[in-house]
Structure formats: C-alpha cells, structure tokens
Amino acid sequence: MRGQNALHPRGKEYDMTLKVARFVNLVLAGVLTGNEFGGWAGTHPALRALPIAAHVRAEQAVTRRFGAIMPFLMTATIASCLPVLALTRDKRSAHYRYTLAGTLCYLAMLGVTFAGNMPINRRTLGLSPEAPPADWLALRARWDRWHALRNALNLAGLGLLVVGALAPSDGETAD
C-alpha cells in the first residue's frame, strides 16, 4: 500500500507525527523532572544553610521565579502526553500502558503541588523576612516532604514515559 508502512497502517506521516509528539513529550518531561530534582537535591538544601531571614528572602525569590515558570511547564508536560496517547492505536500495547502510567504520575504530581506545596508557597510569599514565624523550619520541612513526593512521582513518570517510548507499539515485536 503506497504511503503506508508495516508498523503504522495510517502511513509514514502518522508514524512521524507520533515520533514528534513523543519527542516533545520526553523533552518537556525531562526538563520538568530535571528542574524539580535540581531544586530538591541542590537549591533547597543550600538555602536551608542560610540564616533564617536570608532563607525566607531566598525562598520567596525562588517561589516567585518558579511561580512564573512551573505552571506552564507542568501543564505543558501533562498536555504533551495526550497526543502520544491519542496517536497510539493499540490501547493494549505496552507502549500505551507505560505512557498512560507516566501520564498518571505527572497528574498525581500536579495534585500534590496543588494540595501540598502551593498553600505553603502562598504562605511563604506573605511572610516578613525580618519577623519569620516560629514554625518557619517546620513549614519548610513540610514543603520539602511534599516536594520529595513530587520528585518521586516525576522520576517515576519520566521513567515510565521513556519505557513507553522504547516499548513495542502498533504491531511491532520486541527482538
């Protein structure tokens, strides 16, 4: 059949569309996951070493900056999963199931962000660095626990998306 290939009955254009969608998805998921991991492993532990007033100011600056970036990146990452899922014809394939599981990890991460991190972020932005609350360190420890959970979900999500990209799909067989 002219214009079609054996792996994707819809043709080479379909195959390329799926590859482009997968590429965009993996890039966005990698950027999001790497950014969040860097904050967990590097930025926030370094900020904890600052005197409390400086720590509050630094967390406020980081929160403002990421508040401008992360909503787009989180939403774009999740949204980029949808075309990959939609373009996968065999909904029983490992390719589809791993991609769906990865998508669900990122959706769960977004839920944790809304329920756990964002309320603490809003409180942090309203604080006076010169008069931080007595529970500042406990507040940050709670935020760090939520952030660690988000990182676990992000890493699992990225891993599942990568496995989904490598898994056989739409009639392929693993050699």
**69 touches 36 (CB < 8 A):** no
Report the C-alpha gap between 18 and 169 in whole angstroms: 11
* pLDDT at site 171: 56
Annotated domain spans of the chain: 12-166
pLDDT for the residue numbered 155: 99
- Residue 25, token pair as written in the block: 């998805």
Which residues of the chain register pLDDT less than 70? 1-11, 169-175
3 state SS of 11: coil
Query: Using one digit for the tens of pLDDT, what is the confidence trace for 93-108?
Result: 999 999 999 999 999 9
Predicted local confidence at residue 13, as pLDDT: 74
pTM comes to 0.88
Local structure of 129: helix, strand or coil: coil
Q: How far is CA 163 from CA 22, 90, 104, in A?
A: 12, 16, 14
In one-letter notation, the amino acid at residue 66 is F
Which pLDDT belongs to residue 172?
A: 54
Report the distance separating Cα 81 and Cα 113, nearest Å: 19
Q: Which residues contact 17 (CB under 8 A, 6 or more apart)?
A: 87
pLDDT score at 26: 99
Helix axes 94-112, 136-166, angle to 10 degrees: 170
